[in-house]
Structure formats: C-alpha cells, structure tokens
Structure 1
Amino acid sequence: MSWKIKKFEELNVEEIYEILKARNEVFVVEQECAYQDCDDKDKNAYHLFMKENDTISAYLRVLEKGISYDEISIGRVLVNKNYRKKGLARQMMLNAIDFIENKLNEKSIRISAQEYLINFYKSLGFEQVSDTYLEDDIPHVEMLYKK
C-alpha cells in the first residue's frame, strides 16, 4: 500500500467511485449525516488516498486557496473503519502537509475539524481559531496551521 495524490482529472473512474463510496460510508452512513457530498469542489482538488485491493483505506482532499477559505484547506478526512488505530490518519495528514508546503509552496492551511478531533489536529501543529459551530449538526471548529 502506498499513498497516491492526484488531481481530479487524473483519477480514473474506478478511483472516483471508490473515493465517493468511502466518503459515503463514513460521513453519510457511519455518522448518520445527510449532506451534499458532491459539492463541485472535488473538480478543483488534489485527492490523497491509500488503496488496498479495491478499498480506499484512507482519504482526504486538498482544496486550493479561494475554494473554501482564503488559505489552502484540507477536508473530507477519513480512515475506513477496518483500517483505524494503525496511524494512517497521522501519516496521511503529514503527507498532505508536506505536499502543501513543498509542492504547492504554501505556508498556511485552514480546516474545519470535528470538535472531538481538536487534540489530534493540535498534535500536527494546527491551532483552534474559532468557537464551536454546527456543520451538518456535528460540532466543528476552524483550525489553522502555519509553518
């Protein structure tokens, strides 16, 4: 298993299907959250993922400045339930931060983090920059990373 990062147009049909399936399994089914996942932002994103056989084990997307925030952002962060507790989320986030800093030459990253993950993101260098707010009925906070 190795990490892949691709722009939307570089993804093949199977990869797009598996990514959307993984996001649906975690965010819609597991978290019981009915929301519009296909938000057109994917078309202007980098997609970082690890795949084992035909299953996406971990995934996130990197959105360029101006799409969600003034800064580059990371979103749709997930680890398939069968691959949790193996350090994949940390590996994936470190890969995303490295990509943003060294390939995209950006120094700031803004995220909308689920509140229960604040300490995880703090351990990666993010700082909470907002009060708690509801996004799709789930408590979130904005967090900012600066190199």
Structure 2
Amino acid sequence: MGADEAKVAEAIIAAAADESAKAVKGDVEAHAQVWKAKSADERSILAAQAELWATRHAGHRVQCPACGSRALVVGGPVSAPVRTLEEDEIVEKQECLPSQFECIACGLKVNGLSRLAVVGLADRYTNTQVYDAAEYYAPAEDEWAGYEEDNNER
C-alpha cells in the first residue's frame, strides 16, 4: 500500500470518527420539510431543473437525501488514472473520494467527507473521461507557430 492510499484510508477513518458531523442529519431533515411544503408543481419544476443542472456540470450524479432529486458530489482523485484503448477512443478511469455535495432543487449543500458519510454519500466513485485516440496522441501544437522570427541575432 502506497503513501497515497494510506492518506485516503486515514481520511476515511477520521470521517467515521467525527461525531460532530452527525449534525448534518438535522440539515437534511430541515431541507426535506421545506421540500415537502412546496406545491407539487413547484417540486416537479425544481426537480427538472436539478436534472438538467446535474447533467451539465462535472461531478458524480447522486440522489439527494432530502428531496430525492438529481444532485452532484465532487471530490478529488485517490488513485492513478487507468487508460484503456476501446476501438478508436481512449477511456481514462480514475477513482475519486467525494468532498462536496450540492442539490439545487432543495438547496442542500454538504461539505466534508465526515458529513457526507453520515448521509450516505461518502462512497468512492469513478470519474470517466473519453478521448479521441488521434487527438490524445497528436503532437503538441507549436505555440509560436503564428509568430515570425525576429532575425535580430548577430
């Protein structure tokens, strides 16, 4: 086990031991009560907006613990990326550990692994990027190609 994996393990252990993070349950319950007080039409509009928002933004899509709408968790990588060649594309997968959660439908935001663990959103997720093989292996463009030479050296 490498140093990076040890740091991730320490973060997970510290998150499990954090008793103060349990206060987030009250936040979730408060947002759930406000969500239930909204009209059915308003909830459906907000849920549709959240679905669209979650699709357009980077992160891992999950279900909000307060309102059940689409929401996002984002975090940092915890392993080296693994690249594979599939047909004409390069698929890069990397495991990430979440650190932030946001739902725009009900407005719930949760920061920190320990608080995410309390509401069941602390599971690792896989970030997948797909690249065109020709573009991925293409030589880097010359950043000076658009400039003429000075020719002022002696």
Q: TM-score range by the shorter chain?
A: under 0.3
User: Greater helix percent: which structure?
Assistant: 2
Larger radius of gyration: 2
User: Greater strand percent: which structure?
Assistant: 1
Higher relative contact order (CA 8 A, sep 6+): 2
